[in-house]
C-alpha cells in the first residue's frame, strides 16, 4: 500500500468517526443529511459483498467491517435514536434522481455483466454522488456547523488522495481502472467548491455560511 492510499483510508475513517461522534456528543443530527448517510450505507453494503468471497488481509477486512458498521450506526442514530432532531424539511434532495440513473449506468457500463460486478460498479458510481443531498442541504440552509465541515473535508480529502493513489499504481504497478478513476474524479470535483469555502472560511476560524 502506498502513502496516499494509507492516508486516504484513515481520512475516510476519521470522517466517519467525526460524524458519529458529533451526533452522539450533541445528541442531535441537526444539519446532517440522513439521505446521504443512507446512500453511503448502500455504497458500503454493495461494495463490500466481497467480504463473503475473498480475504485480502486483516487490515482490509477490519476496515470494511468498521466502515459498514459505522455507516449503519449513523443511519440508526439519525432515523431512530435522535429522530426528533433530524431536519427532514431541509433534507429534501430527491435521491431517486441519483439512484435510478446510477443503477442504469452500472448495468450499461461495467467491466463484466455479473451480479457482484454490477453491484460493485453501482457502489462506485453511487459513492461519487452520494454526498449531493448533504451539499444540497447546506446550500438550502446556507450554513453548516464547523464540525460538519471537518467531516466533509476529511471525506473529500479521502477521494482526492485516492486519485494520487491511482496515479501511483498506474506508474508503479501498471494498474488502472477507468470506472473507478472517472467516478473518483467526479466525486472530487463535487467537493472543490466546498474545499474553497473550507480553506477561505473555516480554517480562518469563521463559520461556514453562504451568502443569501
Give me the residues that bind other proteins (CB under 8 A), please.
5, 9, 12, 50, 53-54, 56, 60, 63-64, 67, 111-112, 117, 120, 162, 165, 169, 175, 177, 180
Q: Which is nearer to other proteins, 114 or 203 (CB)?
A: 114
Q: Which is nearer to other proteins, 29 or 131 (CB)?
A: 131
**Distance separating alpha carbons of residues 160 and 95, to the nearest angstrom:** 24
Q: Which is nearer to other proteins, 16 or 29 (CB)?
A: 16
C-alpha dihedral (53, 66, 157, 6), degrees to nearest 10: -70
DSSP secondary structure of 78-121 = IIIITGGG--TTT----THHHHHHHHHHHHHS-SS-SHHHHHHH
**Distance separating alpha carbons of residues 68 and 44, to the nearest angstrom:** 6
Minimum separation from the CB atom of position 157 to other proteins (A)? 14
Q: Which is nearer to other proteins, 68 or 144 (CB)?
A: 68
Minimum separation from the CB atom of position 195 to other proteins (A)? 21
Residue that is written with C-alpha cell 463559520 in the block:
207
Minimum separation from the CB atom of position 110 to other proteins (A)? 11
Minimum separation from the CB atom of position 182 to other proteins (A)? 15
Amino acid at each position: 500500500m502506498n502513502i496516499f492510499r494509507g492516508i486516504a483510508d484513515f481520512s475516510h475513517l476519521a470522517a466517519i468517526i467525526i460524524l458519529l461522534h458529533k451526533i452522539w456528543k450533541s445528541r442531535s443530527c441537526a444539519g446532517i443529511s440522513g439521505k446521504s448517510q443512507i446512500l453511503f450505507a448502500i455504497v458500503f453494503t454493495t461494495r463490500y459483498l466481497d467480504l463473503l468471497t475473498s480475504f485480502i488481509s486483516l487490515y482490509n477486512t477490519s476496515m470494511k467491517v468498521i466502515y459498514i458498521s459505522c455507516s449503519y450506526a449513523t443511519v440508526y442514530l439519525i432515523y431512530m435514536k435522535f429522530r426528533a432532531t433530524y431536519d427532514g424539511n431541509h433534507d429534501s434532495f430527491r435521491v431517486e434522481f441519483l439512484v435510478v440513473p446510477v443503477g442504469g449506468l452500472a448495468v450499461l457500463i461495467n467491466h463484466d455483466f455479473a451480479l457482484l460486478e454490477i453491484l460493485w460498479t453501482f457502489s462506485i458510481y453511487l459513492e461519487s454522488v452520494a454526498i449531493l443531498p448533504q451539499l444540497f442541504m447546506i446550500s438550502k440552509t446556507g450554513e453548516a456547523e464547523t464540525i460538519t465541515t471537518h467531516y466533509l473535508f476529511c471525506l473529500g480529502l479521502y477521494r482526492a488522495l485516492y486519485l494520487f493513489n491511482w496515479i501511483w499504481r498506474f506508474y508503479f504497478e501498471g494498474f488502472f481502472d477507468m470506472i473507478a478513476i472517472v467516478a473518483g474524479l467526479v466525486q472530487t470535483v463535487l467537493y472543490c467548491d466546498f474545499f474553497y469555502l473550507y480553506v477561505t472560511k473555516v480554517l480562518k476560524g469563521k463559520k461556514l455560511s453562504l451568502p443569501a
